[in-house]
Structure 1
């Protein structure tokens, strides 16, 4: 057996890395790359934080300060609780809250249930789903003014489409936006049609994530359509439903666009005056920015308290 040659010994000997040599890269290369990557990520994050602070946090802080200030002759002085006293003593304050709560209740009956029902129907289609989704989401893509003009034509007391349909059925015609009894309901119907597309697509995505085996097991147990919806669909989408319910309540409590464009804000006998429209009146019609900020602060505190209580109750139910 021949002894190993020198070349063989050198080949078998493991290669020793020279000091400072790491695959041809300097020792601090990976650290520099990680630092550069983190700096880039933090740069984008800082931009988002600055935008959020400037457009969200600063207005809230400014509103809180303005709620306790009064501006007269270009001079700003502390007013204490006088702005809140002015707001609470205004008769329109309580009417605005009553109208807002009525709008929220009607919007939950229609705007929360109808998108979920539409999503259930769309989920049963196996063809043309993309077209149907576009059709449902189309009202959201329309400008609000265009949608309002459409509903103004529908609600026209003279030759509106709804009254023409009632006349065809030999039913009495209605003053949809001019009657205090129907004005709020008309606004809710328009708002539901204008905003239901996004909620429908969210519900549809949640429905499509439910395993089909659950429905098959329910069918084997003899469950009908309603029982499958109640015992399978609703429990499987409970998280989405609870989140959408919270968002629906917060959004409807801040309604402004639909009553402002459909009924000029106040509506007949103040039947569509909402809290946000009253804030608008204080600020831009009465030039009382302190009272407007005070009313906005009241709305903010109530919505924040309701959101915290709602999340806490849902967390408790999830733990159970």
Structure 2
């Protein structure tokens, strides 16, 4: 048969025959070539066990970072974590520091819950927190909105609002007690006299004492929250306000439908932080009222102070601090959850 007589059927492509196919197979599918006649495979490239210069440099950098991190961990462990754990353990012991501590189990918590002042302190703390949310939460927000609308004198007013934060708390409280809440020539009573209203015992009245503490606390601490709101307001797009003005929205509607929705996350975070902060109120009742009159301003931390340094019962005080730690931990967990969700 010549090349010209090859038909299409004879030109069907046949599979290529490889060296593997030429190797004779023995029964069972194994190679029939003796092991000594086989061509050895090229040895694989072994992995280097000695790190290169780049790996060594990264290791040195990580060691430096870990050294700085270890210093911070040790500081937290010595000055934060160890006191927390030790304080919790003291809650299960009878501790007077006059004799060795004795393990009493849950007796301190049992005595704590049976103390009528325990519920009184929590009620007063809750009442203070509620009043602080009414005055201390709304006042900085309204102040920030007003300052944000001003065109002149904004830096001076910002400094004026933040000035009380820079004063030492004890100076602020003594200033209010002697110049403003004084039952005789105090500023508030002078204002009432001008309005032909009777003078009030601001710190000696069971009904006015807690309100007076909230007013002082709001005035002294609103500066930081106001600056936070001002920074958040600067991030609201101006186009939203312009669109609302074109639609004929009033200031109240712009505030309700533009400002508050844009600051919803910031408002929620400051609300949780304020709850955590106000539940730890101590210096205001300690300096201004001492928990009176008639325990009307006795708070949780003030009662804890009495247990430890007045009654010399550190086990009971530690049990009180453990209960407060658990309550605040719930709000702190909610705060972390919100921030993590936003992130």
- 1:221 deviates by 2.1
- 1:193 deviates by 0.5
Contact 2:272–2:331, Cα closer than 8 Å, also in 1: no
**CA–CA distance in structure 2, aligned partners of residues 34 and 291 of structure 1:** 51
**CA–CA distance in structure 1, aligned partners of residues 170 and 288 of structure 2:** 9
- 1:196 deviates by 0.5
Match in the other structure for 1:145: 170
Paired positions, count: 290
> Which of residues 57, 78, 95 is equivalent to 1:54?
78
Match in the other structure for 1:9: none
Change beyond 3 A, Cα 1:92–1:215: same
- 1:315 deviates by 8.3
Say whether residues 1:39 and 2:63 are aligned partners.
yes
Match in the other structure for 2:28: none
Change beyond 3 A, Cα 1:305–1:217: same
Structure 2 unmatched ranges of 5 or more: 1-51
Residue correspondence of structure 1 range 166-245 to structure 2 within 5 A = 166-245=192-271
State the secondary structure of the residue aligned to 1:175. Answer: coil
State the secondary structure of the residue aligned to 2:80. Answer: helix
Structure 1 unmatched ranges of 5 or more: 1-26
Contact 2:121–2:298, Cα closer than 8 Å, also in 1: yes
> Which of residues 147, 154, 162 is equivalent to 1:122?
147
Contact 2:148–2:230, Cα closer than 8 Å, also in 1: yes
TM-score by length of 2: 0.80
Greater CA drift, 248-257 or 32-41: 32-41
Coordinate RMSD, CA, aligned: 2.1
TM-score by length of 1: 0.85
Match in the other structure for 1:274: 299
Match in the other structure for 2:21: none
**CA–CA distance in structure 2, aligned partners of residues 135 and 274 of structure 1:** 31
Match in the other structure for 1:160: 186
Query: Which has the larger helix fraction?
Result: 1
- 1:39 deviates by 3.3
- 1:64 deviates by 1.1
Higher Cα Rg: structure 1 or 2?
A: 2
Match in the other structure for 2:16: none
